[in-house]
Amino acid sequence: MPATASLLRPRDAPAPVTQIELFFDLVFAFAVTQLSATLRTHLTALGLLHTTMLFAAIWWIWVYTTWITNWLDPNRRAVRLMLIVLSFLGLILAASLPAAFARRGLPFAAALIAMQLGRTLFMLAAVRPHDPANFRNFLRITVWLAASSVFWLAGALQPPTTRTALWLVALTMDLASPAAGFFVPFLGRSTTADWRVDAPHLAERCAGFLLLALGESITVTGGTFVALHWRPAVEAAFTAAFTGIIALWWIYFDDAAERTASAFAQSADPGRIARAAYTYLHAVLIAGIIAIAAGDFLVLDRPASPASFSAAAMIIGGPALFLLGNGIFRRLLHPRFPPSHICGLALLAALAAASPFMPLVVTGAAASLALVATAGIGQALARRNARK
């Protein structure tokens, strides 16, 4: 294949996020909505486990595709067509989510396998003539994905209990593979130095997905509010939910996101940061937002009801998960865990102790205020540090 036929992005200029990548993300906006709805309708330990598994599978597909478009040029027709095919398969995958552990296990698994293996084989063909080191890297990835695909497919053909066990094995293999360097006998191990990542592109893509998840939270909140009878308790719940969403945006997207992305770009080993901070930790942030959206729905739907354990887990656990994930994310690129996040987590811990004695609307409002306090403390500390 001549050099002019390369599907790789040129590395002598910044890699902008393209429109086809954003189009691909729209499918996953639908998936986030499906996951939030699945979570709030299955508020049991098993329901939480199943929703977490489905979310991890969805995230892994999205983030792997983001890594690949970090190397491939989406403006090339072949890459663009590949993303369109992935979008179609992703829509099938998202539509299968509510019944993935029931009657739609096979469509879910088939779409997942087709996306993971099809995209990776495409990448192998694209890099083979131009990037031998990355070709070996994707050979290892293909072996791992093929091995986990056996368990995804076998689980889809089994009843729910056995399916859960087999899909847990598949998911463990998928999630552990980057940390293991995709080690394969005779093919060796990948190192983070092999992953010549375009840091600004990856940071922008992950930030964009987080913004998209926040947008879906607004959609769920607004859609629920429209369908309800507007009374003071419902209006207070709606105000608290939107306030919490704004606080989440402020915590992540204020100057901290830009400073963190800049530190990522200047890191001595951007591949290591990309794996830890953007591949793994951003999944924690998105999971927190999905839980918050489910909690907001519960508060709006029955604001005067007492906070059950499962409802409190969504209303308080979602913000706590977001703050914990964002704090560790920032700690990877800055000297310390943000003090503002420690304060926010402490407020949420106190709220968890008091929540059994509160109606849902008060619990939801207090959780949103804890996020607002976190954002405010972060701003105050940033201004103080800037004056030094």
121-130 burial string, b = 16+ CB within 10 Å, else e? ebbbebbeee
How much is the pTM?
0.92
**Three-state secondary structure along 149-198?**
HHHHHHHHCCCHHHHHHHHHHHHHHHHHHHHCCCCECCCECCCHHHCCCC
pLDDT (tens, 9 = 90+) of the chain, 388 residues, equals 444 468 988 877 777 899 999 999 999 999 999 999 899 888 888 999 999 999 999 999 999 999 999 999 999 999 999 999 999 999 999 999 999 999 999 999 999 999 999 999 999 999 988 888 889 999 999 999 999 999 999 999 999 999 999 999 999 999 999 989 899 998 888 887 777 788 888 999 999 999 999 998 899 899 999 999 999 999 999 999 999 999 999 999 876 667 777 777 777 778 888 888 899 999 999 999 999 999 999 999 999 999 888 889 999 999 999 999 999 998 888 778 999 999 999 999 999 999 999 999 999 999 999 999 999 999 888 888 777 6
Contact 64, 123 (CB under 8 A): no
3-state secondary structure of 126: helix
| d(C-alpha 249, C-alpha 237), whole Å | 19
- Alpha helix ranges (H) inside 72-127: 77-96, 105-127
Q: What is the per-residue pLDDT for 131?
A: 82
281: amino acid identity, one letter: L
Which residue has tokens 């066990």? 165
| d(C-alpha 237, C-alpha 232), whole Å | 9
Q: What is the per-residue pLDDT for 47?
A: 93
Contact 213, 289 (CB under 8 A): yes
Q: What share of the chain is helix, strand, coil (3-state, %, to 5)?
A: 80, 0, 20
3-state secondary structure of 43: coil
Q: What is the per-residue pLDDT for 115?
A: 97
Q: What is the per-residue pLDDT for 256?
A: 65
Q: What is the per-residue pLDDT for 255?
A: 64
